[in-house]
Amino acid sequence: MSKTNSKQQLTSLLFSLLFACTSYAQQSINVSEAWVRIPPPGMQMMAGYGTFTNLTGNTIELVDAQSVSFESVGFHISEVVDGISSMRKLDSIILQPDEPAVFEPGSRHLMIYTLKYDTQPEGVQIDFIDKLGATHSVEFRFLKSAPE
C-alpha cells in the first residue's frame, strides 16, 4: 500500500466519522409507529399518530408541523366534555427527555388536511419545527389501522 493511499483512507475515515457524528446530532427526535390513517374515499381530513421520543438531554418544544404532501398539519387533542367528543388545537408539544409523548386515536393526534396527490403514496414525510427553529423530519406510513 502506498503512502498516498493510506493517507486517503485516513482522510475518508475521518470524513465518515464526521458525517456519522453530524447525522447523529440531527437525530434528536425519534417517532416510533408513525402512521397516518387512510381516510375514507372523498375525505380530506386525516389523523396521524406515533410515539415521539426526545433523544437529547434538553426539552424540545415543537411549535409547528408541515409537509410538502399535505395542505396542512397541526397538533390536536380529542376530548370528551359532558359526554360530547370534540377536538381542540394544541399550540405546541413539549417533549421532555426520557418522557415519550404518545399520539394515539382518541387522544393527541396530528390533524392533517388534504393530500396533494391523486394517488396515495405508501408514506409521507412530515417536518416538525421546534421553538429554536430546527426542523425534525419524520416518515409516516399510510395504514388502515394502528400498526401491530
User: Would you tell me which residues interact with Cu ion (CB under 5 A)?
Assistant: 76, 87, 111
Type of residue numbered 38: I
Number of residue whose CB is nearest Cu ion: 76
For the bound state, the minimum distance from the C-beta of residue 77 to Cu ion, rounded and expressed in Å, comes to 8
- CB of 36: closest distance to Cu ion in angstroms? 13
| Residue 122 beta carbon to Cu ion: minimum distance, rounded to whole angstroms | 23
* Closest CA relative to residue 61, chosen from 91, 16, 86: 91
Cβ atoms of residues 64 and 110 within 8 Å: no
Nearer to Cu ion, 76 or 136 (CB): 76
- CA 72/CA 63 separation, integer angstroms: 14
Instruction: For Cu ion, give the closer residue by CB, 65 or 111.
Output: 111
Q: How far apart are CA 136 and CA 15, in angstroms?
A: 24
User: Which grid cell is 49?
Assistant: 399518530
| 3-state secondary structure (DSSP) of residue 107 | coil
Cα angle, residue 58 at apex, residues 137 and 126 outer, rounded to 5°: 15
Least separation in angstroms between CB 110 and Cu ion: 8
